[in-house]
Structure 1
């Protein structure tokens, strides 16, 4: 894992972050799920136990009601009661035999009315015993009168007595191996309500045990029927062959007992205890289930949950690695390309398809690199253009320093002779030479300096074309510090004078003013003339030459159509310097800025210099100039 990614790399950090978040969420969900599942299982087991014991108690009541009806049918049988009393009195053997047979037939009828009755035993007050059972009929325990069950029946005052589950018959000494369910009651003469004997009925315990088994929840669950004296009536404890293997029954003295028809659920101990009352017999049915068995049912849930957690951890590891790689890979490419930019390579580009934010970052980087490359190229072209302009200025002047020094000397000689007009022309020409030859501070200048150069030029032109040209300059002094390329106004003014105003047969007017647009953040210098204008073909050629890409030829900035415009306008010289000025403005301020030209034949020409709005430090309120 350490070889795949470094711990402090973005891939490693994202992997650890995603994996930790997923595992924390997984553990939290798993714990909550297990707790909730445990609660649900315990709740459902408790509900199931309550439902089972409620159904079992109801079944017990129905069974006991049936047994009670059997004893009541015997106690309400007038013939049986009469015969029992006569048998106690009579002495005739023949009548005695007939009466005994009749009693036996009555008992047989009751016996065959139910499938679960094993034996019916009736004992009169005189000690005569009448039996009806399947095997060994008439073999009665001679000591029955001293037994607890007989005494309990005699003392019951006709109330139903439930003796519960017995390992063998209570009265038949030959049937001691098969378990039976025993109950009985005292028989009364319904006329005078005097006891005439007792009836003891033994039934098959399987229905009782089957009903008890329905209460069990797990194989280790035990169900007990306990009377109000905490004596066990019946239970689901398995039979054992030896006394050593017999387990002591639990003590029911400390267990909760329900009231009336309530059902008690107690899970405070190591067992789940559910108890309910059987109303017919005043019994309490207890279901005891070890909590280990309930927990055992949760073992499969825990095992399944562990497998799920393991599978989710594997999937989470894969997803964390995949997601972190998808995020980190584009960033690695971006970092690698940034190192190339540090080395000076601006030609590369990052192409990735990732998340929207990363794609936006990569796109911004590509645009930044492209912009930097364009700026470097623009600076290079601007530098070449400056050198070219400087070279042209030097080539157009023969030893300018010597010239403007000589012109200064001529000016002072004329001033001594009081020739002011010629002196002003010479002084303006001297200033023009000085301004055009000074390139030590690069090509950037201000609008104020350009206007001064324009005024010197116009001084010469107005003296040469006396009375034919008028100049109007209306520019707020607050704009005089606006930066702009050097030698911007003079080529435009020169073209306006030579190509537009000189051929006129009327007064030519040259207007120069400035305006600003807060909405577009543009600052415009407008040069208008009322000269001869240009043809549509010439105007189109100049515009095309300005907006075509520049290239470098012999150390100069040029455009393909610039040469064509120079050839086609050889006579008028219109448009020779305009493309150069436009490209220099675009190199300095951007492609959105430069020259905008409009012209109409015999009406005039308008050239607009478009620059960005000067900064506040370059623009302060001043009175108009």
Structure 2
């Protein structure tokens, strides 16, 4: 059994080619998919962060506008301002107490107008303090005048001052809950002079809820920074270090900035009402959580595809190589000399075509070997017959050679040339050392001797022309190919003429058909259609092994029987069917003799052999 599992076998090469191609394609697609997914996720996170911070800034603007309106409602309350002004001048304790209750009631009305107010504190320029708080009311610290927040409100000259988040009330020391604080100066509406300040403390939950809207991961941090880079509010936990806001991008009004050049995604936007800047900082490591799931999904998919590709590669390679292994095994049988087997497979069209061609090739080889065997047997038999008949031609050759020297001594040149030519012909016909194979060159040389005899006998009635290209003269032919053709042309075509005749021998190459044609043509009496068809039938039967028939009998209208034909062959020599059969045995059934003729115009016999691949170089012989 032929082994095809080696490292260089088709099975292994197809397996690795398919698997590697699949792996390369899979890795390329996975890398592109991962890169595109990363880009999409980063883009979506950036868009989400930008959208969130824009919404948060919008919420801050609405919230601060509400707080600003709340402080303005206090500052524009004429009754409150009048009572504050009179209370500072009133000396009567009863009237002063009544005014204080009225002021407290007005502050209480403002306090209950919103749910998020923790406390409202009004401090007059004379130091009088009015408070309305959720709890611990009436407990106020007196050290406010030296504080930073008090000074900021006084210096703002009526503008809103956003003090931000505070760990406990700025007024009531008992209030320790975180509050959002803002305030402004109160003015007397009659003379536009400051009469004190209002300080409002609110629940920080709305602020913190708005800040949490900016966070997009558990480790995101959000900061509200004023124009002096002071932190107003943040989601920073204890132990975390605040960034340097001076180096962060500062957006303009109604602008959002996204910066992802560092190890954090930084988004920022500005709140127009308070001139605050909101910063959102998200570590990029948190953004990779989604990418980690994508990577895990890709790894699972790649592993599954690799497993599937391995199975498919094995099946495909085996499906392709199995019929090839059968073909190789049958080739081994052919190599051992067994031409009787055949391969039967049902695979791809190309492999089926290859197997069919192999089966046809083996069949043709078997037929060719059988034909060569038969030809070899026939050739051996012919050699034996030639050897048996060689005694008389040899004796004749010696006798003719002796006659030639005797005639030469008597100076009979013409008869001497004829005898010499005849002796050469006997020598050529009796030399079988190379069996029946010769060349066109040797055949032409032999024909010169024969034509010497013919021209001497007919005394000018036959003229010959030879036009054979030198490069075709080494083409192999069976021995005694031209002599029977020329002999028939002279005896059956030219001799019956009452005028001089022309015999031409020339070559023609048909490269398209791959054929070399040696043409022997005469302008003799020719044949009619019936006799030409009968002669062609003889050639076909001769190529298939039928007995030879002589051309002259056909041209003369005779129909010889087998015994008569044998007598003619004995008398006339080698017949045309015999020449045709020997050429077919040498080159194949598609080669041999082709005959054309017309009554009164002449006959053309064409010897067809394969066109040589490397013809000899030379000049034409005229």
Q: Confirm or deny a common fold (TM above 0.5).
A: yes
TM-score interval, smaller chain: 0.7 to 0.9
Q: TM-score, normalised by structure 2?
A: 0.80
Q: Give CA deviations for 1:372-413 in whole Å, capped at 9, x if unaligned.
A: 666655654554454354455456666432333344345555
Q: TM-score, normalised by structure 1?
A: 0.80
Find the aligned partners of 1:561 and 1:104 in 2 and give their Cα distance: 150
For residues 204-603 of structure 1, the aligned pairs below 5 Å read 204-227=203-226, 232-236=231-235, 247-253=238-244, 256-259=247-250, 261=252, 271-325=264-318, 328-329=321-322, 332-333=325-326, 335-346=328-339, 376=369, 379-380=372-373, 382-394=375-387, 399-412=392-405, 426-457=419-450, 470-476=462-468, 478=470, 481-497=474-490, 499-500=492-493, 504=496, 506-507=498-499, 509=501, 511-517=503-509, 520=512, 522-529=515-522, 533-547=526-540, 550=543, 558-559=545-546, 568-570=559-561, 577-601=575-599
Contact 1:473–1:512 under 8 Å retained in 2: yes
Secondary structure at the counterpart of residue 247 of structure 2:
coil
Find the aligned partners of 2:9 and 2:611 in 1 and give their Cα distance: 46
Contact 2:526–2:603 under 8 Å retained in 1: yes
Contact 1:482–1:618 under 8 Å retained in 2: no
Find the aligned partners of 1:610 and 1:577 in 2 and give their Cα distance: 17
Q: CA RMSD in A?
A: 4.4
State the match for 1:183 in structure 2.
Answer: 182
Contact 2:468–2:507 under 8 Å retained in 1: no
Find the aligned partners of 1:259 and 1:413 in 2 and give their Cα distance: 136
Q: Give CA deviations for 1:520-539 in whole Å, capped at 9, x if unaligned.
A: 56543333345554453443
Q: CA deviation at 1:605?
A: 2.8
Contact 1:472–1:512 under 8 Å retained in 2: yes
Contact 1:228–1:284 under 8 Å retained in 2: yes
Find the aligned partners of 1:153 and 1:420 in 2 and give their Cα distance: 156
Contact 2:536–2:595 under 8 Å retained in 1: yes
Q: CA deviation at 1:419?
A: 6.9
CA separation of 1:75 and 1:606: change in aligned 2, threshold 3 A: same
- 1:193 aligned onto 2:197: no
CA separation of 1:284 and 1:155: change in aligned 2, threshold 3 A: same
Secondary structure at the counterpart of residue 180 of structure 1:
strand
Q: CA deviation at 1:217?
A: 0.8
Q: CA deviation at 1:288?
A: 3.5
Find the aligned partners of 1:49 and 1:510 in 2 and give their Cα distance: 109
Q: CA deviation at 1:460?
A: 5.6
Gaps of 5+ in 1: 239-246, 552-557
